[in-house]
Amino acid sequence: GSQKLSKAIVLQKTIDYIQFLHKEKKKQEEEVSVLRKDVMALKIMKANYEQIVKAHQDNPNKGKEQVSDEVKFNVFQSIMDSLFQSFNASISVTSFQELSACVFSWIEEHCKPQTLRDIVTGVLHQLKSQLY
């Protein structure tokens, strides 16, 4: 009797361990997928920066001194103010876990290229009307 019981226990523990290994494998596969996407995004960013560097090397004086540092700062400040307003309205700091979740969802919602483009366009139109 105890021989069968111990075999059943060993079998059950083996099954549990195999299920655990399957879950771990799935988790690792998901992590690999996320890392592959990160690598792809970084490669795209690198290519974009390389194009910027190349364009600057081809035309080093183009655009120099056309825009004052003050205007650049005003553009940057307005963009950041706009982003901070949505960030501040979206964030809860009751716990680190909730803060992290809020930050990730804010980034996904408010930092999409089209959203950022709209913010920058709005800021530039606003500053243009103030300057001229």
Per-residue pLDDT of the chain (132 residues; tens, 9 = 90+): 667 779 999 999 999 999 999 999 999 999 999 999 999 988 988 888 888 888 878 876 665 557 788 888 989 999 999 999 999 999 888 889 999 999 999 999 999 888 999 999 999 898 888 776
Domain ranges, residue 132: 67-132
One domain, residues 74 and 129: yes
Q: Verify that 114 and 96 share a domain, yes or no.
A: yes
Cα 21 to Cα 24: distance, rounded to the nearest angstrom? 5
Instruction: Give dist(CA 130, CA 75) in Å, integer.
Output: 12
pLDDT at 59: 76
pTM of the model: 0.47
Shared domain for 59 and 80, answered yes or no, is: no
What distance in Å separates the CA atoms of residue 86 and residue 80, rounded to the nearest whole number?
10
* Residue 64: predicted pLDDT: 58
Shared domain check, 82 and 58:
no
CA 108 remoteness from chain centre: 7
d(C-alpha 27, C-alpha 93), whole Å: 28
- What pLDDT, on a 0 to 100 scale, did the predictor assign at position 63? 54
Do 6 and 49 lie in a common domain?
A: yes
Distance, CA of 23 to CA of 15 (rounded, Å): 12
CB 86, CB 102: distance < 8 Å: no
> Is 72 in the same domain as 45?
no
Give yes or no: residues 91 and 54 share one domain.
no
CA 119/CA 125 separation, integer angstroms: 10
63: left (phi over 0), alpha (psi -120 to 50) or beta: left
